[in-house]
Amino acid sequence: MDHFAYRERSLYCEDVAITALAEEYGTPLFVYSQATLLHHLQSLQTAFAEAKPIICYSVKANGNLSICRLMAQHGAGFDVTSGGEYYRAQQADPAAKVCFAGVGKTDAEIRYALERGVFLFDVESEEELHTLGEVAKSMGKVAPAALRVNPDLPPKTHVKTDTSVKGVKFGLDIETVLDVAKGVVGNPHVQVVGLHMHLGSPILSPEPYAAGAAKGVTLIEALRQQGHDIQYLNMGGGFGIHYRKNEALPAEMFAKAILPAVKATKCQLVLEPGRFIVGNAGILVSRVLFNKSTGGRSYIIQDAAMNDLLRPTLYDAFHRIWPVTPPADVPERPDDFEATMPGTHQQDVVGPVCESGDFLAKARNLPALRRGELLATFSAGAYGMSMASNYNARCRAAEVLVTGGAHRLIRRRETPADLVACELDCLN
Ligand code: LLP
């Protein structure tokens, strides 16, 4: 369910017209629906209810403090992948449970996490495991560790975001997990209490979860035989969302694939969803600047760019795009954005950035658009703002959170002064 719907040919987020938001806050603008965010969190809580899961919202998907706080208020902990994300999680809720993943944690980050009572380190290499023990020892503490295993599964998503095929940098090779774990048996400063896997993202099938979880069951038994008190099975995130049409699976399908392993191991289940919660809860609103045709292609040049939403450029990702106030001769909202439609022609939607790779969509069926018209790029709530940059010295967009008929600015638009704020002008 998302709460972005057209009413009499004008797009609304919950009960607020997007035109009004663009007027008030300017463009490019990220608009989030609180009802959609909570709906997705709650649908996971419900689908996995019998396992009483610890849901650690993945901060990398969208780390805005208001969104993180909303997650914490509704029972989520956090999955973080850097000291910076850890800081965000702490700002949102200092008491929340935090899983700390990532192949390259620095000693300072490890210390920071230990000081703050980290819930679990998702450990990605043998050296990291021993370093955890050493840092914890120097602080008189015990590091709680979940070994991240790469379960070596067939490809399941884009090559740049598939984290469970052989040879990627993530996790421990499945063949080596037991040897690595043996190395810390009896170490008083590192306790292996969990098994972690994150298969990749986005994943539109439950099968990899079932296959990964089954391998997890075997490993957990063997780790317990070594003497490790394994209490947690962390299956990561990666659940897919609607990008093209309604292709996302309901949370129950993933629950069905994962719950048998939870029962078999009697572990507490941990999940780290990001995109599933926030992806369809956000859109990127932009304004058309110019039209032009060249070399047989039609271009819509609008004011959002690859620095605002990198996914099309980086992964050739498909995001639905449609006018905020569509003209009368096209569908109010197409069922199939890829089908040819009367009243439309193929256009490339591009931004102002100086790269030919700067685009939001290629050869997309869209009606003719005039200067000043608004466009909505859907499913932009996850990995939009969190991957935004200041390339071309572009100020990052503002973010607005809508609740019913109310809206709040949750991040102001950056200014040119923000762009140079960290620089030390030593030649002046
Ligand atoms: N846990 C771990 C250890 C992860 O590495 C990730 C994502 C997640 C959880 C959350 O995955 P999610 O539920 O959000 O799919 N920039 C890419 C996605 C990269 C995901 C990296 N890790 C994109 O825009 O598609």
* Token code pair at residue 179: 């040897």
Whether residue 236 has its Cβ less than 6 Å from ligand 1: yes
* Token code pair at residue 192: 């292996």
Whether residue 99 has its Cβ less than 6 Å from ligand 1: no
Which ligand 1 atom minimizes the distance to the CA of 238? 15
Which residues, 6 or more positions from 105, have their beta carbon under 8 angstroms from its beta carbon?
A: 113, 121, 128
Whether residue 198 has its Cβ less than 6 Å from ligand 1: yes
Which residues, 6 or more positions from 397, have their beta carbon under 8 angstroms from its beta carbon?
A: 27, 28, 29, 30, 284, 304, 308, 385, 388, 413
Residue 13 is among the residues annotated as catalytic for this protein: no
- Mean pLDDT, range 332-345, rounded to an integer: 93
- Tell me, in angstroms, the distance from the centre of ligand 1 to residue 55's CA: 14
Furthest CA-CA distance within the chain? 72
- Tell me, in angstroms, the distance from the centre of ligand 1 to residue 56's CA: 12
Distance (Å) of CA 334 to CA 49, 340, 399: 35, 10, 26
For atom 5 of ligand 1, the residue with the nearest CA is: 198
The CB density around residue 138, as the number of other CB atoms within 10 Å, is 12
Q: Between helices 34-47 and 251-265, what is the axis angle to 10°?
A: 40
State pTM to two decimals. 0.97
Tell me the pLDDT tens digit for each residue of 120-161. Answer: 999 999 999 999 999 999 999 999 999 999 999 999 899 999
For atom 24 of ligand 1, the residue with the nearest CA is: 383
Whether residue 201 has its Cβ less than 6 Å from ligand 1: yes
For atom 1 of ligand 1, the residue with the nearest CA is: 236
1 by Cβ neighbours in 10 Å (0-12 / 13-18 / 19+) ranks as: exposed
- Tell me, in angstroms, the distance from the centre of ligand 1 to residue 200's CA: 7
3-state class of 340 per DSSP? coil
Looking at residue 1, its pLDDT comes to 67
- Tell me, in angstroms, the distance from the centre of ligand 1 to residue 5's CA: 27
Q: Where are the alpha helices (DSSP H) in 93-125?
A: 107-115
The CB density around residue 289, as the number of other CB atoms within 10 Å, is 13
User: Is a pLDDT exceeding 70 seen at residue 300?
Assistant: yes
Which ligand 1 atom minimizes the distance to the CA of 122? 3
In the chain, the percentage of residues whose pLDDT exceeds 90 is 96
- Ligand 1 pocket test, pick from 59, 60, 128 with the greatest ligand atom count within 8 Å of Cβ, gives 60
Beta strands 297-302 and 29-33: pairing type? unpaired
Tell me the pLDDT tens digit for each residue of 197-256. Answer: 999 999 999 999 999 999 999 999 999 999 999 999 999 999 999 999 999 999 999 999
User: Is a pLDDT exceeding 90 seen at residue 192?
Assistant: yes
Task: Decide: 170 and 81 in contact? Cβ < 8 Å.
Answer: no
Task: Decide: 122 and 146 in contact? Cβ < 8 Å.
Answer: yes
Whether residue 383 has its Cβ less than 6 Å from ligand 1: yes
In angstroms, the CA 87 to CA 108 distance is 13
Whether residue 272 has its Cβ less than 6 Å from ligand 1: yes
User: Is a pLDDT exceeding 80 seen at residue 428?
Assistant: no
Whether residue 121 has its Cβ less than 6 Å from ligand 1: no
- Rounded to 10 degrees, the C-alpha dihedral 381/384/386/388 comes to -150
Catalytic pick among 56, 99, 354, 426: 354
Task: Decide: 164 and 216 in contact? Cβ < 8 Å.
Answer: no
Whether residue 243 has its Cβ less than 6 Å from ligand 1: no
Helix or strand holding residue 182 (H, E)? helix 177-182
DSSP string, 144-177: EEEEEEE------S-GGGB-SSTT-SSSEETTTH
CA angle 80, 248, 154 (to 5 degrees): 70
Q: What is the mean pLDDT of the chain?
A: 97
